[in-house]
Amino acid sequence: MEASKTQFACANPEKSEKTKQIIQAIVEDENSKVDVNKVKARNVPDFKKDAVPVKMTAAAIMREGLLYQKQENEVMHKLRQLEAGAYDASEFNKWQNEQRQQDLEAEIAAIEERRLLGKLSHEEAILARTNVMAKNQERVRGIKEETAVMMREFLDKKFQEEKEMKMLVENTMAGHRNAKDAKKRLTEYKQKIDMRCKMELIQQIRAMESTPVSRFKVVDLTSTSGAGLLGEMSIVELRERLALLKEKQLEEEEEKRDIILNAKQAKADYLSETLDRISKHRAEQTRSAAVKLEERKKNQSAPTPFRNEALSELERKLQEKRAERIREQQKSQVLPSRASANRTKSLISQKKNLEASRWQELEQAQERSAKFLAQIRLVVAAAAAAAAVAVVVVVVVVVVGMVVLFVLE
């Protein structure tokens, strides 16, 4: 069974993933030589510099009003405590802030030292990697030459195998050229069976249409169905009850509408009061911010430098390592010779031509194999359809016989 399933796998018209990748690489290489679709930079759009006013929603107004109300309550609570003789912690908070500032400066200096050490290690690693890459370049050249030789041998072997496969497929197709005649005979036989079935079905439909059927029924809207249920009622009574329910529903909607309008009016009054409170608080915050800014400008002192002698020494070492790395990179740069460049181009062009011709022949063989496989599938499908039609005809004959016997009885 497995051999019969995979015997025509070579006739698959779909290209493999490797084939698609090679074709895509060739197309991209050809397109890279032409600079037609060059992307042009667009001008920077002129953005509006005017401030756009922000519209306050009801939720934002209520949220901000609640925040200011909470701040007012906290200030009033603090004033009551001070009035009752509570201790003012402003001096302690000032000392605590100074200690935090000193700890922050020490932490920033430690972070800067770690950053410089990391950069220094990075430069040293780059130097070591440059030396290793210089040693490996000679090995890579030898490996590339060996790989090119092996690739040419592999392509020649693959091309020979494809030729043998092509001959095998052509020999297989030569033994099945009589499939068209069998398909034609099967189609004619199928048409005859189909026409016989249609004639029998038409006779049955005409016999059924000739039977008289009563299609009219008198309906009394004032009468009930007579099922004996407790909720049984006529259609007229149902319509009256629906009208009463609709009137009641309209009255309930009017009441709900009045309640909603009253709630909206109350909410609008509350939002108006909250907006007044917010505007007062914002004005007070603007004034206090201006006062604090003036005090900060007056008391502002020179910033404390975070650097020390150790950081300066690390920066000096880092600059030395960086300069050494740049010198090594400039020394290790080797320009390719004209002969090697020409040899590489010729090898690439030969490889592309060989692959293009090989894939073209393979695709032609696959197309011929696919056509042959499609013909075989059509023959098999036709045989299966004929068998199915024969089964349907037998079933229809049996059903018609049963219907005729039932009508006669």
The two three-digit tokens of residue 121, written as one number? 């290690």
The two three-digit tokens of residue 403, written as one number? 């219907």
The answer to whether the CB of 359 falls within 8 A of the CB of 158 is: no
Residue 304: predicted pLDDT: 47
The answer to whether the CB of 12 falls within 8 A of the CB of 370 is: yes
Does residue 371 lie within any of the structural domains?
A: yes
Q: CB under 8 Å to 223, separation ≥6 — which residues? A: 234
Does residue 175 lie within any of the structural domains?
A: no
Does residue 370 lie within any of the structural domains?
A: yes
Q: Could you give the CA distance from residue 53 to residue 131 in angstroms, rounded to a whole number? A: 62
Q: Could you give the CA distance from residue 278 to residue 272 in angstroms, rounded to a whole number? A: 10
Q: Could you give the CA distance from residue 91 to residue 86 in angstroms, rounded to a whole number? A: 14
Q: Which residues of the chain register pLDDT less than 50? A: 1-3, 5, 7, 302-305, 334
Q: Which domain, by its residues, includes 401?
A: 351-409
Does residue 397 lie within any of the structural domains?
A: yes
In this structure, what DSSP letter does residue 362 have? H
Would you tell me how many other CB atoms lie within 10 Å of the CB of residue 150?
Answer: 10
Q: Could you give the CA distance from residue 374 to residue 230 in angstroms, rounded to a whole number? A: 70
The sign of the CA dihedral 267, 271, 272, 273 is: positive
The answer to whether the CB of 399 falls within 8 A of the CB of 34 is: no
Q: Could you give the CA distance from residue 390 to residue 349 in angstroms, rounded to a whole number? A: 62
**DSSP, residue by residue, 98-145:** HHHHHHHHHHHHHHHHHHHHHHHHHHHHHHHHHHHHHHHHHHHHHHHH
Angle at 80 between CA 77 and CA 85, to 5 degrees: 130
* Alpha helices, DSSP H, located in 221-308: 235-299
Helices and strands counted in the chain (H then E): 8, 0
Q: Could you give the CA distance from residue 221 to residue 235 in angstroms, rounded to a whole number? A: 5
Angle at 99 between CA 93 and CA 100, to 5 degrees: 85
The answer to whether the CB of 204 falls within 8 A of the CB of 399 is: no
The answer to whether the CB of 325 falls within 8 A of the CB of 123 is: yes
Q: Could you give the CA distance from residue 241 to residue 247 in angstroms, rounded to a whole number? A: 10
Q: Could you give the CA distance from residue 278 to residue 83 in angstroms, rounded to a whole number? A: 27
Does residue 261 lie within any of the structural domains?
A: no
The answer to whether the CB of 25 falls within 8 A of the CB of 356 is: no
The structural domain count of the chain equals 1
Residue 308: predicted pLDDT: 66
CA 21 to the chain's CA centroid: 23
Does residue 390 lie within any of the structural domains?
A: yes
Does residue 290 lie within any of the structural domains?
A: no
Nearest CA-CA partner of 141 in 281, 353, 336, 292: 336
Q: CB under 8 Å to 10, separation ≥6 — which residues? A: 165, 169, 365, 366, 369
Q: Could you give the CA distance from residue 253 to residue 344 in angstroms, rounded to a whole number? A: 87
This prediction has a pTM of 0.27
Residue 400: predicted pLDDT: 66
Does residue 205 lie within any of the structural domains?
A: no
